[in-house]
Amino acid sequence: MRIRELKSELIKRLALFDNPALEARVLLSHFLSLSTSELITRDSENVPPEKEEMILSALNKRLTGLPMAYITGEKEFFGYLFEVNEDVLIPQPDTEILVESALSMLKERSSVLDICTGSGAIITAIKAERADVDAHFSDISEKALIVAIKNFERITGEKSDARAGDLFEPWHHMKFDMITANAPYVTKAWYESVSIEVKKEPPLALLDEEEDGLGIITRIIEQAPLFLKKEGRLILEADYRQHGKIRRLLKEHGFSSIGTEKDLAQLERVSYGILI
């Protein structure tokens, strides 16, 4: 089958998605190792049978709702290409707001701890942009941590200080200039209405047991003062419906200069505070 014929078949079968042409192009480009322009200029070439089989297998996975990033094994975030698999959440553009906030608050030679690190996207992007940062990260999932370490060391070119454990458990007796976290905050009620694609991502990294989704974030805010230096920054991502309570919690636990940044949809996405 020629490239253009396979592309046409893919578009037809991917019609249930918002942009089937883009979906088809991503699959072809990834498995044939061709750029978008090459897919056009070389569309009369035959697709090797083994490649065609791989693409059709990937198509069937996509039709089950498996996110494209899990199929290709990669996702761009903050201008860097991250490895992802089904052990980690797929980095989203809105989380770039957290990275931008962190970079704007960093002082020279700051120590930064990223907890609930997942793919390592946040701490890796921070370190890649600021080589002087002393970076540390952890996750309760050892499988996720394997992915994060690979991403951090490949993108930054440096060895990582990565530890497995629940929140601050691996970091006893250490203090940092900044702590960042994109912790689980989706409630069980909200989870019922999320897309099939989101439900393919690891629930451990998404779901919080409390009715308001703030069980883990509350623990982070309560414990963070023990692990922050004076005037240290805490930066948290959450749903827009949660930031009013997050700001109150930050104030109750000794933080000042509290603020919130909005995402691309102009919804509250990231809250922060400075430890007094």
Map residue 275 onto helix, strand or coil. strand
| Residues 213/120/78/199 CA torsion (nearest 10 deg) | -50
pLDDT of the residue at 131: 97
* pTM of the predicted model as reported, rounded to 2 decimal places: 0.94
Burial class (CB in 10 A: 0-12, 13-18, 19+), 8: middle
Residues 233-272: b if buried by 16+ CB within 10 A, e if exposed: bbbbbbbeebbebbbebbeebebeebebbebeeeebbbbb
With a cut of 70, list the residues of the chain below it in pLDDT: none
Question: Length of the chain in residues, anyone?
Answer: 276
pLDDT of the residue at 236: 98
Q: Sketch out the chain's domains with CATH numbers.
A: 3-64 (1.10.8), 74-275 (3.40.50.150)
pLDDT in tens, 88-111: 999 999 999 999 999 999 999 999
The answer to whether 151 touches 91, Cβ cutoff 8 Å, is no
**Nearest residue to 237 (alpha-carbon basis) of 210, 211, 205, 209:** 205
pLDDT of the residue at 136: 98
Helical H segments across the chain, by residue range: 3-13, 20-32, 36-41, 49-63, 68-72, 96-105, 121-129, 142-156, 188-191, 196-199, 215-223, 243-252
**Nearest residue to 44 (alpha-carbon basis) of 10, 8, 5:** 5
- Which residues touch 50 (CB under 8 Å, ≥6 apart)? none
The answer to whether 138 touches 117, Cβ cutoff 8 Å, is yes
H or E, element range at 112? strand 111-115
pLDDT of the residue at 261: 98
pLDDT of the residue at 124: 98
pLDDT of the residue at 61: 97
